[in-house]
Structure 1
């Protein structure tokens, strides 16, 4: 798999804040698999916990309704 095929590109350096959440075991397993593929694609080791905020940010950035509601206020 090449980096061009992953939705989530290389990770930027950011300031972090700790948030805890509960997810199904199957989602955790998928996140860990995605992290392994991401690490292989970009040659930089990354774990699932590091990917989660970037995945959420990418998801919200692509949500048209969320964007529309965010600019309406």
Structure 2
């Protein structure tokens, strides 16, 4: 059975380290998501912490209100 997840791969990029506390339920969901990602592939599930950045990136990329705000207030170098 193939499951269509919004997150398909974790990009290999130089990370910026942050520390955050997550509710236990969110951590359990991250563990489950990581397991589902590799289900049937024979690959080990990725570290759930590595899912957080791509999930946030995907969330922000699909948030229309955020996109409108960024268009009207572009980043400065």
TM-score calculated relative to the size of structure 1: 0.85
Determine the C-alpha separation between the residues in 1 that align with 2:12 and 2:36. Answer: 20
Structure 1 residue aligned with 2:62: 62
- The alignment of Structure 1 onto Structure 2 pairs a total of residues equal to 72
* TM alignment of 1:11-50, pairs within 5 A: 11-40=10-39, 44-45=43-44, 46-50=46-50
Point out where structure 1 has 5 or more consecutive residues left out of the alignment: none
Shift of 1:40: 2.4
Q: Deviations over 1:8-42 (max 9, x none)?
A: 01222111111111111111101110011112266
**TM-score, normalised via structure 2 length:** 0.81
CA RMSD across the alignment? 1.7
Q: Which runs of 4+ in 1 moved over 6 A?
A: none
State the distance in 2 between where 1:72 and 1:26 align. 36
